[in-house]
Amino acid sequence: MASNKITYRKSGVNIPKADKFVKFISSATRKSPKNGNFKNIGGFGAISKIPKQYKDPQIVTSTDGVGTKIEIANDLKKFNTIGIDLVAMCVNDLIVQGAKPYLFLDYISVSQINLSKLKSIVKGIIKGCELAGCNLVGGETAEMPGTYEKEKFDIAGFAVGLVEKNKILNKKIRNGDLILAVPSNGLHSNGYSLVRYLLKKKKINLKRNIFLKKELIRPTKIYVKELYYLSKENLINGCANITGGGLADNIKRIIPNNLSAEINLGKIKTLKIFRWLYKMGIKQDEMLKTFNCGVGFCLIINPKKLNLISKFFVKKYKPYVIGKICKNPKKINLSGKISW
């Protein structure tokens, strides 16, 4: 007689597979040199000590995702770098406050567990944590049949950082400071809905375009190491992570009242992928509102410290001047035109 038992597995949830995945994460994190003292994977909660070297530690937190860049990963069936993006989007926000990333947690939701895909995603997250100098200490994997289409998934990240109270950035910005652009390495993880709309409208086959395949899946640059040393040496007065909303909207968030960021767009050194998007018909105003346009991070510094900054960056990411801080009630003033 056929069994008609109602089980969780018949509803689409495979707990044994989930358990295998947790064991994989636990094993993979133990192999990471940064995670030697953290053995929380699989427990109910991660317990961590605040490092003793901090005298007056302030906790800084951040959460983010990677947007519809996930759909590019799905289209290309390449999942080993999207986890780097996830870490980058969170930790690059932490360092704006001068914080050093310490802990990271992830959330992955899927229609159905595919161990191979999930392992690739987590390997990317672990790699991202290594690049950021922090620890993956826990997370959640939710199998949600009926919520997502087959093979679809979403990911979110949660980062915790620490900073000495007297090292918190963006409180020291002064009239006469210089604004430096730190180059991006591409789109990072912003504007992908517009990119995908363009691909569809222009009937571009992503899988057949070698240039776009490489550019659109390129993982977001993690700026933690460079920014940590600059902050430690008191070389920056403020900084901004240039993500969704572009250059103007992100710098505006850190400019004090009665001061203004005066930026000459003509000084921006853009990248091939942005020139391609512009030539495909996206106007400059839309480019600036949607993409980083080649500026991944902005630093605000005392002009006297300009020559000291460069030694902390490799040639590809050396900062350059794009503007200055002036007295003006309008927080952002853009002039000039990007050379596309």
- Tens-place pLDDT, residues 101-122: 999 999 999 988 888 999 999 9
Span(s) in the chain for CATH 3.30.1330.10: 10-167
Out of 34-43, 47-56, 263-272, the most confident range is: 263-272
Give the CATH fold of the 178-186+221-335 domain.
Phosphoribosyl-aminoimidazole Synthetase; Chain A, domain 2 (3.90.650)
pLDDT number for residue 192 = 98
**For the range 287-290, what are the long-range contacts, defined as Cβ-Cβ under 8 Å and sequence gap of 24 or more?**
287/246, 287/338, 288/246, 288/247, 288/248, 288/334, 288/338, 289/245, 289/246, 289/248, 289/249, 290/190, 290/191, 290/194, 290/244, 290/246
* Whether the predicted pLDDT of 253 surpasses 60: yes
Lowest mean pLDDT of 3-7, 11-15, 207-211, 312-316, name the range: 11-15
If residue 212 lies in a helix (H) or strand (E), which one and from where to where?
helix 210-217
List the strands of the sheet with 320-327, edge to edge: 238-241, 295-301, 178-183, 320-327, 259-264, 332-335
Q: What is the pLDDT of residues 141-174, one digit of tens each?
A: 888 888 888 889 999 999 999 999 999 998 889 9
* Residue 48 banded pLDDT, cuts 50, 70, 90: confident
pLDDT number for residue 111 = 86
User: Do 256 and 172 touch, CB atoms closer than 8 A?
Assistant: no
pLDDT number for residue 36 = 47
* Whether the predicted pLDDT of 1 surpasses 70: no
pLDDT number for residue 41 = 61
Lowest mean pLDDT of 133-137, 140-144, 325-329, 335-339, name the range: 140-144
Q: What is the CA radius of gyration of the chain?
A: 22
pLDDT number for residue 23 = 67
User: Do 107 and 128 touch, CB atoms closer than 8 A?
Assistant: no
Mean pLDDT of the chain: 90
Task: Choose between 314 and 39: higher pLDDT.
Answer: 314
* Whether the predicted pLDDT of 10 surpasses 60: no
pLDDT number for residue 31 = 62
Contact partners, residue 118, CB within 8 Å, separation at least 6:
21, 108, 110, 141
What span, in angstroms and rounded, lies between the C-alpha atoms of 270 and 279?
13
Task: Choose between 147 and 41: higher pLDDT.
Answer: 147
- The correct CATH number of 10-167 out of 3.40.50.2300, 3.30.1330.10, 2.40.50.140, 3.20.20.80 is 3.30.1330.10
pTM (2 decimals)? 0.90
Task: Choose between 8 and 249: higher pLDDT.
Answer: 249
Region 37-59: mean pLDDT is 78
Q: Quick check: helix, strand or coil at residue 64?
A: strand
pLDDT number for residue 75 = 96
Lowest mean pLDDT of 5-19, 103-117, 194-208, 239-253, name the range: 5-19
* Whether the predicted pLDDT of 30 surpasses 70: no
pLDDT number for residue 19 = 62
Percent of the chain with pLDDT over 90: 76
What span, in angstroms and rounded, lies between the C-alpha atoms of 248 and 97?
18
pLDDT number for residue 182 = 98
Q: Closest Cα to residue 37, out of 139, 136, 162? A: 136
